[in-house]
Structure 1
Amino acid sequence: MSNVDVLIGARIKGRRIALKISQTKLAEAVGVRFQQVQKYESGANRVSASRLLLIAETLGVPIAYFFQGLDSTTTSDDTPSSEGARSTTPMNALSDARVSEILALVETLPTEQQMAVLAFLRTLSKTSETETA
């Protein structure tokens, strides 16, 4: 299991949950069993390119959606290349199913509402900082 597989799985799960689609329905739509969807979502199994395309179509997103949060400094074995190290913080955050679900839900909102959610989260973050200080 690699960070990329975990990230893609979390993005699948977040989008599926945001659309209120069960693992069984997604599995039927892409021609696998629901257990396979579970393995994709956990990052235990890699999703083939053709299957990922079917998943993207089913979930109504471009295939690039699943790769948001990755950068070009990752090599095929998921180690940073010598050209520059990348922060693992965005990868860790995006591989969290809760964060992926939040992102998927926010993406369904009109731009004005997205901005309102962002303002709310900024305010909430500042509130929690002052409570811990």
Structure 2
Amino acid sequence: MDKLLSITEVAEEFGVTARTIRFYESKGLISPQRVGSTRAYSYKDRGRLKLIFRAKRLGFSLTDINEYLELYIVDQTQKEQVHLLLDKVNGRISELEQQQEDLIDTLEELREIQKQCSESIDTA
């Protein structure tokens, strides 16, 4: 569990490039230890990366992710963190539901255009 991994090993573990991991480090989301000039990623760093990748996949911004991760340090009870997460999740659900409605409307409109085009071709 305390084993330190290199950036290459961590990149392989998560199926990303080392550049991706360095990007998250440059944004202050992770801070690996240094062994000389080599980055050394702990179990905790990899846990943070797992949370980052999950949050990105779910559509959260880097600002949202950073705010959430910072609460790990500040709030030992994790109450604030859970409340923040709930607010962010509720907001993301609302955004996705609106996008879903917009997509349904767009698809209906495109199908109507498709139908009109097909009918126009059939009558020509």
Bin the TM-score by the shorter chain: 0.3 to 0.5
**Structure index of larger Rg:** 2
When normalised by structure 2's length, the TM-score is 0.40
The structure where helix makes up a greater share of residues is 2
The structure where strand makes up a greater share of residues is 2
Structure with greater contact order relative to length (CA < 8 Å, sep ≥ 6)? 1
When normalised by structure 1's length, the TM-score is 0.38
